[in-house]
Each structure stands twice: as C-alpha cells, then as structure tokens.
Structure 1
Amino acid sequence: MLKIAYHPIFTHQLPLGHRFPMSKYELLHRQLLHEGTCTEANFFEPGMPSRESLLAVHSESYISALQNLTLSKSEVRKLGFPLSAKLVEREHIITQGTIEGCSYAIDNGIAMNIAGGTHHAYPDHGEAFCLFHDQAIAARQLQKLGKVKKILFVDLDVHQGNGTAVIFEKDPSVFTFSMHGAGNYPFRKEKSNLDIAVPDGTGDDVFLSELKKTLPRLIEQQNPDFIFYLSGVDILETDKLGRLTCSIEGCTERDRFVLTTCKEAGIPVQVSMGGGYSPDIKTILEAHANTYRMAQEIYF
C-alpha cells in the first residue's frame, strides 16, 4: 500500500498575501481522496523527530535558534517565512514524515511526503522556504541504522538543490544529482556530484531527453540501494518562480519515468513534493496529484 505523510499542521496559516501556497497541502489531500486515488488508509500522521536526528545534518546553534525563535532578522528574511513556534513545529513534523516514509519505502518500494523537499536548507541556516532538510536528515537516519550503502538524490525541482550539495559534498556514499533551471534561484549555485543546468525556456522534449539519458546511466554507475526523489512541479511554464516551459503532460511523464525506473531497478524511493507556484492553485494541484496517480499506477 502507498503510504503518504500528511498532517493538518502542514497547512499552517501564513499572513494574508504571502506567496507560498500552504493551502495546497490540504487541497491536495482532499483531491486525492475525492477522486479515489487514495483513501485515508494511505495517509499517516508523522510525529516529531529526535534532536539527535536533526543534529546529524544541522548545527546545534541553528537548531537551538530555530526552536527558541532567536534567529536574527536577516536570518528570518532568508527563510522567506515569518518565524513562529507553529512554523517550527510544522517543519519538525514534515521532517519526521520523510524519516518514517523511508521505512515504508523499504517495505513497499515507495513512500511519499505531501510536503517536504526542503533542499535549500544548509547545515547552519535555512533559506527560500526551507528550514530543515527533510530528505538529508532521513538519509542520515538510514545510514545510521545501516540500512543503505549508497544513496542517490534525484532533484528535479526547477531550483538547484544547493543545500543538498553542501551537506553531502564530502560523503562518497551519497551521490547528488540536480537538474534545474540555469537562470533560476539560487543565483550562486553549489556543486552537486552532477548538475544539469538547462537554459530558460527549456520545455518537455529537452528536459525529458536529458533525464532519460542521465538517470539510467547514474543508477548503473552508482548502484544505489535507496533513492530520494524531489518532484517539484515548478518546471511548469505557468510557474511564477520558474523559467522553464514544461507542460502538465511533460511533468507527468517525468514522474512516470523516474518511478518506473526505480521500480524496475528494485530500488526503494522516497518522494517529497518540492515547489509549485503557478498562479492558479488548480494547476499546482493537478501537477502534484499526477505524481500520486503515477505512484499508484506503477507500484500498486
């Protein structure tokens, strides 16, 4: 059975006019239930992560400043969110959802987090709507438990996974792959193990061609026994923070290819949602919902 991390706190209310669409998480949950793609049995409510698990990626000083709400004004501006105890609790629970999802993925081939994909979080600071790096923390937990020898990060969000690159830059047991818009944030890119920066205006044909010739080769070369997939839908032409021109159909084919490749290779995959900022919330929901539809079709 497909297991998906979801908690009501994911929809934590931001001040009116904030550009991050928190409502998409609740609406996506409702949509998947309404159309019958999922039932309530597919969803689980994560708890809170241990401090030890957070410390495997983030510094003691950063974790304490978040939890005590003592970040400086400039540090809060970097986050992009107004800092609050509720927001910090939310980020903890999102992280635990990814951690718990890894166990489900090992048992069932795949697990998903309706939020997460916070790939701009660094060890000592957060930025761009990312406080804790959920997938990196989960990867460290898998390593600690001795459940994996080699991990592959597949980041197909329109923005480079800069935090991911830095966190694992000295860890040969983790291979970081990011395919992103060359002209998109972050404007100073970090160095992943493999970066493919596609130019502004890149659409379905080029994006999918690059992906389809790269991912199978990486799996053959790296021989991972676990994959973290960040399935951001901000590659869409309609996305107000992206610069690519992919269609809903192209985004769906991307997910189909990644998940089919993981399944056929017998590699467990944990999927976090990443970004999506199209002006029409219905576009965001449809693009995200397609990822779940593909998961159900391919795995179950």
Structure 2
Amino acid sequence: MRAYTTAHLSLPLPEGHPFPLYKYGGVAEALKGLLPVLPAPEVPREALFLAHEASYLEKLFGEGLSREESLRLGLPFSQALLRRALHAAGGTLAAALDALKTGLGLNLSGGTHHAFPGRAEGYSLFNDVAVAIFWLRAKEGFSGRVLVVDLDAHQGNGTAFFFREDPSVFTLSLHGERNYPLKKEKSDLDVGLPDGTGDEAYLWALEGALEKARAFRPDLVFYNAGVDVLKGDRFGRLALSPEGVRRRDERVFRFVKALGAPLVVVMGGGYNRDPRLTVEAHAATYRLALSSLA
C-alpha cells in the first residue's frame, strides 16, 4: 500500500492568496509513518487528450491561460501551476491503478472536480477523476461501472458535465446548495444542503444518498473526500465537527466495503481558518481508509 503526493512541487502565489498549499506537505508528513508516500508521477499527455478537448490542452501547453481564464480558475497561470496539475492528475491515475490491483488507491492531492472538458475553473486545471476513468477505459481494459462519491462542500460540476450522458458512470454530489458554483450541472444524484448544515442532518442526507447509489452496483468507486465541510472553513459554509467528518468517512468506507468494490480516495477541498484542522481532517480520512479497507 502506498500514497501519492504533490508536496514536492512548489507553487509561487501572490501574498495572501487563499489556496491552501500548506496542506499537501502537512498531510504527507502526517502519514509518513503509516505507508510509503511517493511523489505523484506526471500524468501521460495521452491521458489528458482522452478526456479533455484538444484545443484547450494545446492552449495550456502553448500560450497558457488568459487573465480572464485565470480569474475563472482562481489562480494565476504559471508553468509551476501546470506542472502541479499534471502530477496531481498523475497521482489519481496511479491511485486508480493501485485500487484495481489491491482494492485501495490513495492520492494526497486531486479532487479537481470543477474542470470541464474545455475549460478550467475553481482551482481545477484538469479533472483528475475524469482523466483516470477515460484512461482505464481506453488503456487498461476496464469496462465496469464507476461511482463517483463527491462529498466536497461544492458541487462537482465539471465531473457531472463529463459524464452526463454516460450510463456507466454514476455521479453523486452532496454539497452546499447556495455555494459555489452558482450554476450547478446535473449529477446523477445531487443533494443540496442549506448553509450551516451540521453533523446529524448531513449524515442523514448521506445515508439516503448512498442507499440510492447502492442500486447502481459499481465496480469501482472514486471518493472526493473534501474537508471543506468542516465548521470554520473559509469557503465551505457547512458546519460539520471533526467527529462528524470521521463519521462521514466511516459511512463511505463501510458502504464501499459492503459493495466489495475497489476505492480511490482523492483529497478535495479544505480551507479552514485553522490550518491544523484542515491538515488533521485530511490525514484522518486517509488513516481511516487504511484501517477500514487496506
């Protein structure tokens, strides 16, 4: 068992930028004693072209994003940003291959679910989960059903768009109804929650959503385990406690174990005003995945 990280990659950001670069190194450090934490490999360019529009990728690898496109992304475009995104997507692909071999794959990055086939937005240059699924289909001979359980506080709009007409992929998104993105895409199952939703209401909604997804009988599950659902998150607007997040993860892992399907865990969002809470919540998710499923 191993995990992948982008902590070895730098990313210069403007002073005061809210992107939580600290958490990638922090989570990798917190898990070091439990399993090997390896630098995420760069995703094959061919994998990107399987999922994303060629014109978009050619622009990224050529002149890069315009100022307007960078504003939509929320990050200034740079070669360092592009490199990090290539390795984050590569980590998810490597974790997916691990999951098919061992039952569990872990990427301490990824979950960039706002990227569309032809555009970047919401801190997401590439949709790493979509890239992995397209590669598994085209290059690894995988033809099974895929469930994406997206429990980031924000709707996985890009992922929903990628698979809106694909009956072999079921997208489930539990998110803040009034939160970003303002224009939601249609997942196979969307559960919108009011601002301030706490542990019990959240867990009740999650139980119902997982029960509906069970009928899909997936052969592989991707779990976007964002911790921006925690109370005090700068962007999440929900109000789970650390114990509530643990119970959320416990339900997901119990659900996956009952299915007998391989699981890929990706990091997703987390922007708590207390950086230690963000790091510990992410690390706790991966620890629980290991103890529950490894």
Residue aligning to 1:98: 92
Distance 1:8 1:198, change over 3 A: closer
After superposition, the C-alpha distances for 1:236-261 in whole angstroms (9 at most, x for unaligned) are: 11101011111110001111111121
Closer/same/farther in 2, CA of residues 11 and 229 from structure 1, 3 Å limit: farther
Q: How far does residue 45 in structure 1 lie from its aligned partner after superposition?
A: 2.3
1:28-50 C-alpha deviation (Å, 9 max, x unpaired): 111222xx4x24x2x22232222
1:146 to 117, 141, 145: 141
CA apart distance, 1:10: 4.4
Distance across 1 between alignment mates of 2:261 and 2:9? 28
The CA deviation at 1:177 is 0.7
How far residue 101 of structure 1 moved from its aligned partner, in angstroms, is: 0.8
Q: Summarize the alignment of residues 111-260 of structure 1 with structure 2, pairs less than 5 Å apart.
A: 111-144=105-138, 145-219=140-214, 221-260=215-254
SS of the equivalent of 1:5 reads strand
TM-score, with structure 1 as normaliser = 0.94
State the secondary structure of the residue aligned to 1:214.
helix
Does residue 86 (structure 1) correspond to residue 86 (structure 2)? The answer is: no
Q: Which runs of 5+ in 1 are unaligned?
A: none
Deviations 1:188-212 (A, max 9, x none): 1111111000111111101111111
- In structure 1, give the amino acid aligned to 2:255: T
C-alpha separation in 2, matches of 1:261 and 1:10: 34
Superposition deviation, residue 116 in structure 1 = 0.4
> 1:282 and 2:282 equivalent?
no
CA distance in 1, matches of 2:245, 2:259: 21
Q: Percent same amino acid among aligned pairs?
A: 42
- 1:1-150 residue pairs with structure 2 within 5 A? 1=1, 3-33=2-32, 36=33, 38-39=34-35, 41=36, 43-144=37-138, 145-150=140-145
Amino acid at match of 1:201: G
2:50 and 2:15 map into 1 onto residues whose CA distance is 35
Q: 2:217 touches 2:259 (CA, 8 Å); kept in 1?
A: no
1:11, CA displacement in angstroms?
Answer: 4.7
- The root-mean-square deviation of aligned C-alpha atoms, in Å, is 1.3
State the AA in 2 paired with 1:16. Answer: E
